[in-house]
Amino acid sequence: MRFDCAVSGAPWCSPFRGALLTGRYPHHTGVDKTPSALDPSIPTLTASLKKAGYHTAWVGKWHLDGSNSCAHYVPPERRGGFDYWMGYENNNNQQETYIHGSDSEIPTRLAGYETDSLTDVFIQHLKSHIGRTGAGEGGYQPFFASISVQPPHNPYVPPTDTAGSREFYHHPADIVFRPNVPKVAWVEKKAAFDLAGYYGMIENLDMNIGKVRMALKELDIDRDTYILFFSDHGDCLGSHAQWGKSSPWEESIKIPFIISIVGGTDHMRTGTTDAVINHVDIAPTTLGLCGIAVPVEMEGYDYSYVCLKGENRRENMKKGALGREEPDSAYLQQIPRKFHAHSVNKSWRGVLMRDGWKYVCTPGSDWLLFNTRDDPYEMANVCHDIAFQQQKERCHRRLAQWIAETGDEFDLPDIHLPQ
């Protein structure tokens, strides 16, 4: 099941990750910027999983302990409650990655490119776990395991060799730009080089996902294991002459989100959905897929019924994500003002409606209004066009409602026309 309207409601590493693990908005966890530390007293989804008898594992990038340093040590009590944890706080050198944790508290350099090596660590742990508990009935302990790789991410350096095949290399001269990349010399030059590396990273990631899927099949647990594939943010990469994340444009907030089963779909619906799934919804949806009750402190919505068939689907629909209605929109936040080159240097709040309308404000000022269904590259900002005043007021009301419902604080502008 592919969610075509999945968003990173806080498109920045740490804020997304804090919401991912807790099901709570960044302003409620204190993880509202990168770097930020997640308070270990705040429960993560591991508490519910472990109570239900699951083994929990995390491999790779953490970035929830308040540091941007590759040398930062994450102590056991600050690892989100995972039974097995092998990772690092942050690293911006995919060719030289050190990890520490359950296997060795002394930082150990990975043998190869980050994505390749972390995948090997991840698969080895799955094999070890299944070997201890068995893959059949009886002793088998169900597991929740997450692999978090940095690529695709700046610096945009793909592996020097991918399976010995030249077809995985991209040349900047061959890059075809999105229509919203301005025809400005420095923008096109930088975008061409960065996109060439970015695409190489994605292809390398795709191959490693294949390795994980094959491992599940070889372990004979492919029909019992859901795979959730997603990213913590996008990257503008030259669109609108912007780079990186933390911007409200589609290239920054839209993320892939796919739920699948390798070995069959007897109890799973397949296809696409336009349900607006946000960062806070991923933990509740994960628990729902496992048939585990969603804790009341989680603010997100359980979309598991979208993927299920039969009685499981009916039960999860009846449960209705703690009685909440399915969201008609997603709440978007950049809480602190950010000062990164080629990125928006303002705090902002926004709303993406399920029908495709997106509205964004900076403090005291309306800024962007797009119909992303008709204008997917966001070339026509109609925020200050009186012909779209009715749509702006509708989105403004919903944004104000999100701010109130989530207990956020933000100075919205008065957008009503004089009588």
| 76 shares a domain with 145 | yes
Q: Model confidence over 96-146: pLDDT tens digits?
A: 999 999 999 999 999 999 999 999 999 999 999 998 877 655 678 999 999
Q: Model confidence over 150-166: pLDDT tens digits?
A: 999 999 999 876 554 44
Q: Model confidence over 4-22: pLDDT tens digits?
A: 999 999 999 999 999 999 9
Return the C-alpha torsion angle 123, 309, 284, 89, nearest 10.
20
Residue 412 falls inside a structural domain: no
Domain of 358, in residue numbers: 346-405
Residue 206 CB contacts under 8 Å (≥ 6 apart), including other chains: none
Q: Model confidence over 348-375: pLDDT tens digits?
A: 999 999 999 999 999 999 999 999 999 9
Q: Output the pLDDT for position 166.
A: 47
- Domain end residue (candidates: 268, 288, 323): 323
Q: Model confidence over 29-83: pLDDT tens digits?
A: 999 999 999 999 999 999 999 999 999 999 999 999 999 999 999 999 999 999 9
| 282 shares a domain with 170 | yes
| 278 shares a domain with 220 | yes
Residue 201 falls inside a structural domain: yes
Answer whether 92's CB lies under 8 Å from 70's CB. Answer: yes
| 367 shares a domain with 315 | no
Residue 416 falls inside a structural domain: no
Q: What is the CATH number of the domain that holds 241?
A: 3.40.720.10
| 250 shares a domain with 140 | yes
Residue type at 35? P
Least confident of 60-69, 215-224, 403-412: 215-224
Listing DSSP states for 182-194 in one string gives ---HHHHHHHHHH
Residue 397 falls inside a structural domain: yes
| 259 shares a domain with 384 | no
- In total, how many domains does the chain have? 2
Residue 334 falls inside a structural domain: no
| 211 shares a domain with 259 | yes
Q: Output the pLDDT for position 135.
A: 62
DSSP SS3 for 404: helix
- Domain end residue (candidates: 323, 338, 357): 323
Residue 318 falls inside a structural domain: yes
Residue 215 falls inside a structural domain: yes
User: Measured between alpha carbons, how far is residue 385 from residues 247, 365, 366, 370, 417 in Å?
Assistant: 22, 15, 12, 11, 12
Q: Which of 151, 308, 135, 300 is nearest to 226 (CA)?
A: 308
Q: Model confidence over 182-214: pLDDT tens digits?
A: 999 999 999 999 999 999 999 999 999 999 999
| 9 shares a domain with 44 | yes
Q: Output the pLDDT for position 229.
A: 98
| 86 shares a domain with 12 | yes
Q: Which of 213, 187, 221, 230 is nearest to 341 (CA)?
A: 187
Backbone angles phi, psi at 212, to 5 degrees: -65, -45
Q: For 32-47, give one letter per residue: b (16+ CB within 10 A) or e.
A: bbbbbbbeeebbbbbe
Q: Model confidence over 279-332: pLDDT tens digits?
A: 999 999 999 999 999 999 999 999 999 998 877 776 776 665 556 789 999 999
pTM comes to: 0.95
Residue type at 325? E
| 352 shares a domain with 256 | no
| 266 shares a domain with 351 | no
Answer whether 340's CB lies under 8 Å from 246's CB. Answer: yes
Q: Model confidence over 239-290: pLDDT tens digits?
A: 999 999 999 999 999 999 999 998 877 788 999 999 999 999 999 999 999 9
Residue 29 CB contacts under 8 Å (≥ 6 apart), including other chains: 18, 19, 22, 38, 39, 42
| 285 shares a domain with 252 | yes
Residue type at 184? V
For range 369-398, the mean pLDDT: 98
Neighbours of 246 (CB within 10 A): 25
Residue 49 falls inside a structural domain: yes
Q: Output the pLDDT for position 320.
A: 56
